[in-house]
Amino acid sequence: AQSVAQPEDQVNVAEGNPLTVKCTYSVSGNPYLFWYVQYPNRGLQFLLKYITGDNLVKGSYGFEAEFNKSQTSFHLKKPSALVSDSALYFCAVRDSGATNKLIFGTGTLLAVQP
């Protein structure tokens, strides 16, 4: 069965510093991987996805993610964190089968201190 793991419940970073939110995956076949962000009392907003091609994927709000097949990882990164980036981040993988179902990780709370 497809799954993703987010090993950190919370990541703390100072404004202006680079940030990384970790995600590892376990899939059979080629992985389709996604990152979403949830601001307080809001819905999930799509950030970026990896389907195929370049291992470095660029997304919204200056975020990027690096697909690493050997380490089965898809970490989310940003060179310089903003206080407004503080939110809950979810990694997800498309489930196998004919449906386009997403399997979500447990989420990582990013706290950016001014």
Partner 1 sequence: DTAVSQTPKYLVTQMGNDKSIKCEQNLGHDTMYWYKQDSKKFLKIMFSYNNKELIINETVPNRFSPKSPDKAHLNLHINSLELGDSAVYFCASSQISSGNTIYFGEGSWLTVV
Give the shortest CB-80-to-partner 1 separation in angstroms: 26
Tokens for 103? 């399997």
**Interface mask toward partner 1 for 92-111; x: CB under 8 A:** --x---xxxxx-x-xx----
Question: From CA 75, how far away is CA 87, in angstroms rounded?
Answer: 16
Decide: is 58 part of the binding site for partner 1 (CB under 8 A): no
Decide: is 45 part of the binding site for partner 1 (CB under 8 A): yes
Counting Cβ atoms within 10 Å, is residue 55 exposed (0-12), middle (13-18) or buried (19+)?
exposed
Give the shortest CB-16-to-partner 1 separation in angstroms: 27
